[in-house]
Amino acid sequence: MIIGVGIDVAEIERFGAALARTPGMAERLFLESELLLRSGERRGVASLAARFAAKEALAKALGAPGGLRWTDAEVYVEGSGQPRVRVRGTVAARAAELGVRAWHVSLSHDAGVASAVVIAEG
């Protein structure tokens, strides 16, 4: 059963500018594992914008309650290349309240826009 669906978009250039002008913003939004590629290099702005959109979409799928911590949702990619989300803390508590047992995530970025769709399944 689908419990919630969320979708969000982020303008890549605008998101990059916000990261550049706000010291520490990336660390408030993302876990270190999200900031780095497997090679250890820093992830590009388009990829980070897609992950930000995924976190916004996830919150919408949960009904957009207040009090969720950005770093309580982790967007990662499996070896196959499929994006996934791992939740803990405030996000896991809200998901448990609603009966969420599985997450489905899709990320994209093209033409200056990053987007994400998240489906919460019970």
Contact 89, 72 (CB under 8 A): yes
Tell me if 110 is assigned to a ligand binding site: no
What are the residues facing 42 on neighbouring strands? Answer: 36
> Is 56 assigned to a binding site?
yes
Coil/strand/helix, residue 86: strand
The DSSP code for 71 is G
SS3 6: strand
Q: Which of 93, 95, 88 is nearest to 3 (CA)?
A: 95
Annotated binding site for Mg(2+): 8, 56
State the binding site: 8, 56
